Amino acid sequence: MTGSGLATNHLPVDVAQLPSPDTVLRLLPLRLLFFVGVLVVGALVSYFVASFNRTLLERLGVPESIEGTTFERSAREFGTSTVSILARLSGYFVFLVFLVIALSTAGVQSVTGLWTVAVAFLPQVFVAVVVVVIGLIVGDKVGLLVDERLRGVKLPEVGVLPALVKWSIVFVSVLIALAQVRVATSALLVLLAAYAFGLVLVPAVALRDMLASGTAGLYLLLVEPFAIGDRVRIGDVEGVVQEMDVFVTRVESDGTEYFVPNRKAFTEGVARVRE
């Protein structure tokens, strides 16, 4: 009995008795096939969503409006663009949703709780990421606009304003993004209050000379104690007034051009020289 059993175990396998490929496919679990099918559908849907959003952003003129921003230049260095990044983010979000659905329908036990969390949390994460990206883009663009507006002001303190405006927008966008992912609201309010305090205090200290010049400039423009073409002496500078703005007065003397801060009109006095 034992010998016959051993002999039976060593019988050669009959190839004809092996299941056919069709039988193997029929034996595959239906859940696995559904898992693969959902992933394929998810990939197609995410591709079309990303393509649609890219086309929509391009037709809205987004590439032209953000041209020259730091974020766009950085994206170009990596061979992509801001519009492509936003479009891909939307596509990745859609595919991630389909992935969670596929895992859930495949019977992965740990996904049951994950699905509940994902439905409630994934949209907030997606919105938070988009808010940060938009904050960086808008901050860059507004910083460039402020820099262009202040380019004619000949004061070194003005150079900090574009960066201050830019990072203020970025900071607010980060706070909004953190609120989307349900970070403690009280902590966000403390951060916002601290930033607002710093935003008022730091410029008041760092830009006090510029603010003083601006106040003096408004007074000079309203009262007009001298005009363009007059010969004046402001402190130790004497010459003919060539240009005036809120912050500085441009005075030319013997081929030398002076940019005199308007605050000197109050601290050192102004004298109109009669020839």
Q: How far apart are CA 186 and CA 15, in angstroms?
A: 72
Residue ranges per structural domain of the chain: 25-208, 227-272
Residue 46: pLDDT over 80: yes
pLDDT value of position 24: 45
250's CB contacts (< 8 A; 6+ apart) are 154, 241, 242, 243, 244, 257, 258, 259, 260
Q: Give residue-wise pLDDT tens across range 102-127.
A: 777 666 555 555 556 666 677 777 78
pLDDT value of position 1: 46
- For the residues 86-100, what does the mean pLDDT come to? 84
pLDDT value of position 242: 86
Name the residue with tokens 């402190």.
235
Residue 43: pLDDT over 70: yes
In CATH, what is the architecture of 227-272?
A: Roll (2.30)
Residue 65: pLDDT over 50: yes
**Between 32 and 50, the higher pLDDT residue:** 50
**Between 8 and 154, the higher pLDDT residue:** 154
Least confident stretch, 74-88, 141-155, 245-259:
141-155
Q: Give residue-wise pLDDT tens across range 204-221.
A: 665 677 777 777 878 887
Q: pLDDT-derived band of residue 3, with 50, 70 and 90 as boundaries?
A: very low
pLDDT value of position 44: 92
Contact 260, 244 (CB under 8 A): no
Residue 184: pLDDT over 70: no
Residue 223: pLDDT over 70: yes
Contact 84, 117 (CB under 8 A): no
Q: How far apart are CA 126 and CA 124, in angstroms?
A: 5
